[in-house]
Amino acid sequence: MGDTSTDSFSGKTDQPTPADGTEIVNGKELLERLAMLSPVGMQVYASSCLRRYCDANGFSHAAIDALLAHLDSIAVAGSLPEWECSGALLELNGRGDPVPAGIESALPEGELQRFMTLVEAVVEVGIVDLYGTRTDQPLAFLRKTIAVLEQGGIPLPPLTNASG
């Protein structure tokens, strides 16, 4: 679904920093940790990135909440095919369908493309390898997700036990 490369990646999170001011997790370390996550863990982390973006920009809409709840539910899904199918039925599903009018009108001028790039990348993290062999594509979509947050100056969410 498009180019999943990024031009730059710093990997800065909002995790506490040591007294000397260095990052606890640099970009390379974060990518290494993300690469070790299960596909479910990667999806949960990607979802936390979308949540962080929306919180940082003050975006709130029932369709966003429904998508976030769906993405997080992968951790407890009894059937991945059912989980995937229910996601396709959401008003905001990140699969190329138009953005609900209420969301589009709430976004600042020029923000729609960035928002949709993020939503589509976050959704792809969880579904790109759903029916096949594990590839590096979920990590590539995570890189794209992270790049959107970094371009907006938004700190990355920390890795938690829930995401890994």
The tens-digit pLDDT sequence of the chain (164 residues) is: 444 444 344 455 554 444 433 344 566 788 889 999 999 999 999 999 999 999 999 999 999 999 999 999 999 999 989 999 999 999 999 998 989 989 988 888 889 999 999 999 999 999 998 888 899 999 999 999 999 999 999 999 998 765 55
Three-state secondary structure of the chain: CCCCCCCCCCCCECCCCCCCCCCCCCHHHHHHHHHHCCHHHHHHHHHHHHHHHHHHHCCCCHHHHHHHHHHHHHHHCCCHHHHHHHHHCCCCCCCCCCCCHHHHHHCCCCCHHHHHHHHHHHHHHHHCCCCCCCCCHHHHHHHHHHHHHHHCCCCECCCCCCCC
List the domain boundaries for the chain: 27-151
Q: What is the pLDDT of residue 142?
A: 96
pLDDT of residue 8: 43
pLDDT at 30: 87
> pLDDT digits over 56-91, tens only?
999 999 999 999 999 999 999 999 899 999 999 999
In angstroms, the CA 102 to CA 23 distance is: 38
This model's pTM is above 0.75: yes
